[in-house]
Amino acid sequence: MAERSFAREVQDLKLAVGEEFRGEGILAVTKALLQSGVGYVAGYQGAPISHLMDVLSDAQGIMSDLGVHFEFSASEAAAASTLAASVMYPIRGAVTWKSTAGTNVASDALSNLSSGGVTGGALIVIGEDYGEGSSIMQERTHAFAMKSQIWLLDPRPNLPSIVAAVEHGFALSEASNTPVMLELRIRACHVHGSFICKDNQKPTYTLAEALENPVTDVNRIVLPPASFMHEQDKIKRRWPAAVEYIRRNGLNETFDGDIADLGIILQGGMYNGVLRALKLFGLADIWGNTRVPLHVLNVTYPLIDEDLAAFCRGKRAVLMVEEGQPDFIEQALNAILRRAGVDTALCGKDVLPMAGEYTADALIDGLGKFLDRHAPELDRARPPSAAPVLSDPRVQALARTVPARPPSFCTGCPERPIFSAMTLVQKELGAHHIACDIGCHLFAINPPFNLGATTMGYGLGPSSASAFNVPARKRAISVMGDGGFWHNGLVTGIGNAVFNKSDAVTVIVDNHYSAATGGQDILSSRATSPDRSTQHPIEDAVRGIGATWVKRIDRTYDVAKMRDTLRLALTTAVRGPKIVIASSECMLNKQRRERPLFNAAVKRGERRVKPKFGIDEDVCTGDHACIRLSGCPSLSVKRSDDPLKLDPVAVIDETCVGCGNCGEVAEAAVLCPSFYRADVVHNPNAMDRLLDRVRTRVIGWLQRRREAGRVALA
């Protein structure tokens, strides 16, 4: 069950030549793939291309009609390996994943793919994501492109440019027998616009034809002496062929301006931001007309030396806008200009941030410094900056008062009680080394739990604790999600622990989906899928690989049971890996599935009951231990109406989804009994109404009796 459905939008993928397509970037990519005659598509989800995988899944019927094979890959390495179909056969293939985390996983396959080269066009759609909002390490795909000599496209973030990049990507790959990466930032994936369509194309050579006519060429396999020949072929034939294609087809673009002695060279993905900054300086308009000449690198690797030197020649200064670090392009550009004898002054990371996302403020500040240094006489506007706002004493005082809000679990998340239980166990047994993993459960390192020491990669939680397999009074704890388990963790985590007779404890969080990437189905998903095989229990896989001490909890909200099971795992005399599988459905996906059905039933007049939880403020002591052990966003505080209570009391707001975790935590931790459950009945029947009248009368009688017994003070 994906985060959202594109069932309606994918119908536009059928649009024919001359018709206008409207939508967002990921839909444009899919349409471009179909227009290019792609034969197969695969990938692994992750921001910002998760929705691309969802679109491809929803468009599976349309692709099947065209003879295009699509599948969700088990990992990015599996996706990259899929491109092997284009090595020997003239079949166009595309894969996608989140970079650089995914490219790290896929790098072995990519190295072999780029070494031997491809026959059919091989396109890798990379979701680039860095800056303050990124969830991964701050690295660039550019490094992988240079390392393996894979060509890297970075189109301007508008739909016609993205579509053209996909189509040229396949052609460039075939012209140079080299795989091509297409880099899409968040701003490109979700930009909206339109383009004029072409007809969808069936593959000119199909996978079935390839199966029936196998081809073998030992010189394409990465073994000596062929591997040395591959490196020579890259430099002597493939690179010049790529440069020739890029120049002949004008993949990089130059936009002239009347301020001819200045210039800006920029990655294609930076075009919209740079143009906006120029407009705020009064040096461009909203239609893209610029006074400062621009050279847009829609291909950032390889660079075309002659074109760059020609653009810079005769200019007093050029600004290189290169997002992320290190400054690969700027360093190369310096070398290109020196070799060409061009003495143009080059600015880049000296006026722009060395690292991070190039936001509007960053570009305005950097462009302003460039103009002040090299064109102080230029008549230009002074755009507003966010700096004065941030330096305002009132804003700074607010920043000191309001604490930082780290990412946390969703309301009702079934993973929260796991870490509540872990906190209670550590209170009894002392602190333990806890190895984290990639996924929603990583939020446990933040307040209020503060659990976790390291995270090494998707599915690597148990193996990252493997060095601690030594005699000691305590055992290491590692955490791994079901997505990470099927991605990488079964072998590198559990298999490694079994093989090395690890005595550590591994908690596998099974929320029925690859929840952190948008709720896509995986092998252990409970749903029945017409296209994929699901409902394969994690427990069976764990036991099948050799683990024997395995406990499964099918309701993680039972905090007491979670606590007792974790305590047993940490204290049992049994040696070997201890596996605890904690299963409950992701609340976001559960709500997405059940809420529409619930609302529809209520609208039809059917009786439905929804649980709600509350706190009796007369009983609440105001110590807020419940919040420290839960951290649910629906738990907050308010001033008590009781003048004798100085501390705020806890309160549950309207975002509560009725999971019951707060009450379970209070009971397991022996906290105050202030939590209560109330069932909200929609469309009550006669019995409901009768019981309501009886309860109201009884409660009213008890209240009047209590009031009558109060001592009144004159």
pTM of the model: 0.89
Q: What is the C-alpha separation between 596 and 608, in angstroms, rounded?
A: 13
Burial category of 263 from C-beta neighbours within 10 Å (exposed 0-12, middle 13-18, buried 19 and up): buried
DSSP state of 441: G
Give Cα 11 distance to the centre of its chain.
26
Domain ranges of the chain: 13-248, 253-388, 416-589, 607-708
Do 484 and 511 meet the contact criterion of CB atoms below 8 Å apart?
no
Question: E strands, 491-607, where?
Answer: 505-510, 549-553, 578-583
Longest dimension (CA), the chain: 104
Q: Which residue has the tokens 């899919």?
A: 30
Q: What is the C-alpha separation between 287 and 419, in angstroms, rounded?
A: 53
Q: What is the C-alpha separation between 213 and 223, in angstroms, rounded?
A: 24
DSSP H or E stretch at residue 420:
helix 416-429
At 642 the pLDDT is 80
Do 345 and 396 meet the contact criterion of CB atoms below 8 Å apart?
no
Q: What is the C-alpha separation between 704 and 710, in angstroms, rounded?
A: 10
Whether 253-388 shares its CATH topology with 416-589 is answered: yes
> Which CATH number, 3.40.50.970, 3.10.100.10, 1.10.1740.10, 3.10.50.40, labels domain 416-589?
3.40.50.970
289: which residues sit within 8 A by CB, 6+ positions away?
none
Query: Any idea what the Cα angle at residue 86 is, between residues 80 and 88, rounded to 5°?
Result: 125
**Strands of the 262-267 sheet, one edge to the other:** 253-255, 294-297, 262-267, 317-321, 345-347
**In this structure, which amino acid lies at residue 182?**
L
> Which CATH number, 3.40.10.10, 3.40.50.2300, 3.40.50.40, 3.40.50.970, labels domain 13-248?
3.40.50.970
Q: What is the C-alpha separation between 625 and 621, in angstroms, rounded?
A: 10
Structural fold of domain 607-708:
Alpha-Beta Plaits (3.30.70)
Q: What is the C-alpha separation between 72 and 56, in angstroms, rounded?
A: 9
Strand partners for 635 = 652
DSSP state of 238: I
Q: What are 156's two structure tokens? A: 């301007």
Task: Chunk the chain into consecutive blocks of 10 residues (it has 714) and report each block's average pLDDT, rounded to whole numbers.
Answer: 77 96 95 97 88 89 94 93 96 94 93 95 92 73 94 97 98 98 91 96 96 91 88 94 98 96 97 95 93 98 97 97 94 97 96 91 93 92 71 81 78 92 94 93 90 90 93 94 92 95 96 84 86 90 96 94 96 96 92 90 93 86 82 86 83 86 81 84 93 92 84 58
Do 587 and 414 meet the contact criterion of CB atoms below 8 Å apart?
yes
Question: E strands, 19-160, where?
Answer: 20-24, 40-43, 69-72, 93-98, 122-127, 151-153
Report in angstroms the alpha-carbon separations of 561 from 250, 507, 511: 65, 14, 17
Tell me which CATH code domain 253-388 carries: 3.40.50.920
